[in-house]
Amino acid sequence: MNAIKNAMLGGAMALSLAGAAQAQEDTIKVGVLHSLSGTMAISETTLKDTMLMLIEEQNAKGGLLGKKLEAVVVDPASDWPLFAEKARELLTVDKVAAIFGCWTSVSRKSVLPVIEELNGLMFYPVQYEGEESSKNVFYTGAAPNQQAIPATDYFLNELGVQKFALLGTDYVYPRTTNNILEAYLISKGIPKEDIFVNYTPFGHSDWSKIVADVVALGADGKKVGVISTINGDANIGFYKELAAAGVTADKIPVVAFSVGEEELSGLDTSNLVGHLAAWNYFQSADVPVNAEFVAKWKKFAGEKRVTNDPMEAAVIGFNLWVAAVEKAGTTDVDAVSDAIIGLETPNLTGTMAKMLPNHHLTKPVLIGEIRADGQFDIISQTEPVPGDAWTDFLPESAVLESDWKDLKCGMYNTETKTCVQLKSNY
């Protein structure tokens, strides 16, 4: 009797496990890897919410490949090593089909060896320094030629800036971007001594001396401009100190690469009117597709919530992933990666975003001027620009090409005709 009972129990357990496995197979899991706590939560929480909205919307359309999408949300807590741990967990335990996540470059580089080892797939939605191309990452934010270089050109050509303060948070993105910008400025005839570079830690709060040093740059009468790669909540103290020092946009303009509508929503912007940001999208873009998106976001997240550039990059990445999965007929990483190259999807400024063989997008470049209400007046906008994985302004990078379609290489040396991978950067 016990033998029969045990057999029945064993059979029931097996059926239960089989049922759980079947239930798991009935959904496609999507990893959401964004900081919900720590210094970067001010920026990244919105991207988590964006992904939840997109997944909910896709499920309302019937899901993907006949299955519902299931968001697996984790909190790497602005802790760079924890990003790698959470990415490994998403891929090995949760078995996600793709990861949408990271903000800072140091978090992305922490994740990179994990997803390459496990052949995962990640969509990275934030502007970055370039100088990277992985077969496992699709970079839907701006490369330097789609943000930093055009913003610098605007300072040079439109505002007549003669001296530059390159202020950044002390990590990969600002340091590499400023290396590129310094080389670019020197190529444009700006003397090295007229370029002031300064880095501060995440969460830095005492900006009085740095702002005083920037003001002192203009003592000789030359026009000074600030190019800001300051990230996270350190921006709050920086802009407050600018206002306290009486630094207005007409005296010393600031163009920021990491300050958008979300960051400004927590600031008193009355003293920041006229300062600039360079992005590929602003909420104020006056086109029907954006009006529809903004209305949808406010209905989902609340009337007071704003949209911003990384949200648009997340939308583009998600829509391209969905289209590639549908085209491939599977969520298999290699099949999806092949299918996605060349696909197009509408961006939110009225043109199309296309995924290039270097895993970067075509993106328009927009310059926005801060308004008193925390929104931006768009004062400059280009046609979509193809993103460069490797800059033309550093000698070691100018000879490199990324092409995952034909060359199957992210770091192809056009002089030696060889493919290498710079693992030491990861």
Distance CA 422, CA 426 (A): 8
Q: Is residue 233 domain-resident?
A: yes
Are residue 293 and residue 345 in the same domain, yes or no?
yes
Same domain, 155 and 241: yes
Residues 309 and 358 in one domain: yes
Token couple for 80: 């760079």
- The DSSP symbol for 399 reads T
Q: In the 3-class helix/strand/coil scheme, how is 333-398 assigned residue by residue?
A: HHHHHHHHCCCEEECCCCCEEEECCCCEEEECCEEEEECCCCCEEEEEECCCEECCCCCCCCHHHH
Looking at residue 42, what is its pLDDT?
84
Give the model's pLDDT for residue 23: 44
**Residues near 290 by beta carbon (within 8 Å), at least 6 away in sequence:** 281, 283, 348, 349, 350
- Domain range for 133 is 27-143+286-364
Considering the domain architecture, whether residues 37 and 129 belong to the same structural domain is answered as yes
Number of domains in the chain: 3
**Which H/E stretch holds residue 33?**
strand 27-33
136 and 64 within one domain: yes
In a domain, 20, yes or no: no
What is the identity of the amino acid at 164? F
Say how many C-beta atoms besides its own lie within 10 A of residue 117's C-beta. Answer: 11
Q: Specify the 3-state DSSP secondary structure of 406.
A: coil
Which ranges of the chain have pLDDT less than 50? 4-5, 7-8, 12-24, 424-426
Instruction: Provide Rg for the chain, Cα atoms.
Output: 23
| Whole-angstrom distance, CA of residue 223 vs CA of residue 34 | 39
Residue 183 structure tokens: 């080389």
- Our measurement of the distance from residue 237's CA atom to the centroid of its chain's CA atoms, rounded to an integer in Å, reads 23
Q: What is the pLDDT of residue 231?
A: 85
Instruction: Report if residue 81 sits inside a domain.
Output: yes
Q: What angle do CA 134, 139, 142 make, to 5 degrees?
A: 135
298 shares its domain with 275: no
As to burial, measured by CB atoms within 10 angstroms (0-12 exposed, 13-18 middle, 19+ buried), residue 139 is: buried
Q: Is residue 252 part of a domain?
A: yes
Which tokens hold the place of 375?
């929104």
Within a domain: 384: no
SS3 309: helix
Same domain membership, residue 155 and residue 32: no
Question: pLDDT tens digits, residue range 160-213?
Answer: 999 999 999 999 999 999 999 999 999 999 999 999 999 999 889 999 999 999
Asked if 259 and 150 sit in the same domain, the reply is yes
Tokens 């400023």 found at: 178
| Structural domain ending residue among the three candidates 255, 279, 303 | 279
Q: Say which amino acid occupies 157.
A: N
Task: Enumerate residues 6+ apart whose C-beta is below 8 A from 2.
Answer: none
Token reading at 77:
């807590």
Together in a domain, 113 and 153: no
252 and 304 share one domain = no
Give the number of other Cβ atoms within 10 Å of residue 419's Cβ: 14
Within a domain: 312: yes
What are residue 224's DSSP bridge partners? 163
204 φ, ψ to 5°?
-55, 140
Selection from 265, 229, 271, 274 nearest residue 367 by Cα: 274
Looking at the fold, whether 135 and 39 belong to one and the same domain comes out as yes
User: What pLDDT is recorded for position 6?
Assistant: 52
Residue 378 exposed, middle or buried by CB count within 10 Å (0-12, 13-18, 19+):
middle
Q: In what order do the strands lie in the sheet with 376-381?
A: 195-200, 163-169, 224-229, 254-256, 276-279, 366-370, 376-381
Rounded distance, CA 397 to CA 412, Å?
10
Q: Is 413 exposed, middle or buried (0-12, 13-18, 19+ CB in 10 A)?
A: middle
In a domain, 104, yes or no: yes
- Tell me the CATH number at 275: 3.40.50.2300
Structure token digits, residue 199: 């880095």
Q: How far apart are CA 294 and CA 306, in angstroms?
A: 8
Domain end (from 279, 302, 320): 279
pTM for the complete prediction? 0.88
Which tokens hold the place of 39? 């210094």
Q: Is residue 369 part of a domain?
A: no
Same-domain pairing of 318 and 252: no
Residue type, 120: G
Decide which of 251, 279, 307 is a domain's last residue.
279
CB 414 within 8 A of CB 400: yes
